[in-house]
Amino acid sequence: MKSYIIDASVVTKCFIIEDYSDKAMEVTDEHVRGRLLLSAPSLIVYELGNVFWRHPQITSEKTYAFIERFFDLQIGLVDIWSDAKLLKNTCVTSKTRNVTFYDASYLSLAERNGTRLVTADENLWNKAPNLVVLLKEFKI
């Protein structure tokens, strides 16, 4: 089974309808069916909460419901700080690729797992095309 790292830019599209939402739902559905294995740094929960909080049409109750539904997907969550080597690599990646620590955590996790990060963030793809696949180009 193929495994991928998934970021908040993809997951939010499962809850907020926008470009490539259908593709994002296809990716998570394949995970739920057991055809893909998805993982993410645990900080994705905070990123999702922030995206939902900022959205003018999403209430705090809906934010809670969306995060609960995210947990129901059973995407493997990894605490970056629980692995010293992964944490160190995240720090190095952030500086060398000139990306946020948040983005570096996704990239470092993909690198450690020998897989790729699925994202809708074209800027991140530009920073690490060898580790990233854009959602719009992702083939299951």
Share of the chain above pLDDT 70, in %: 100
Share of the chain above pLDDT 90, in %: 98
For residue 30, is pLDDT > 90?
A: yes
116: left (phi over 0), alpha (psi -120 to 50) or beta: beta
Region 42-66: what's the mean pLDDT?
96
The distance from CA 22 to its chain's CA centroid, rounded to whole angstroms, is: 16
Looking at residue 138, its pLDDT comes to: 95
pTM (2 d.p.): 0.94
Tokens 């944490």 label which residue? Answer: 87
Q: Which residues sit opposite 75 in a β-bridge?
A: none
The structural domain count of the chain equals 1
Q: Which of 1-5, 32-36, 136-140 has the lowest mean pLDDT?
A: 136-140
- pLDDT category of residue 140 using cuts at 50, 70 and 90: confident
Tokens 């990894």 label which residue? Answer: 78
88-120 pLDDT tens trace: 999 999 999 999 999 999 999 999 999 999 999
CATH of the domain at 46: 3.40.50.1010
Phi then psi for residue 9, to 5 deg, are -65, -25
Q: Regarding beta strands 132-134 and 116-119, do their DSSP bridges make them parallel or antiparallel, or are they unpaired? A: parallel
Instruction: State which residues form the domain around 96.
Output: 2-137
Q: Please, are residues 8 and 120 in contact by the beta-carbon 8 Å criterion?
A: no
Interatomic CA distance for residues 83 and 89, integer angstroms: 10
Residue ranges in 8-135 assigned as alpha helix (H): 8-11, 21-32, 44-54, 60-72, 84-96, 101-113, 122-127
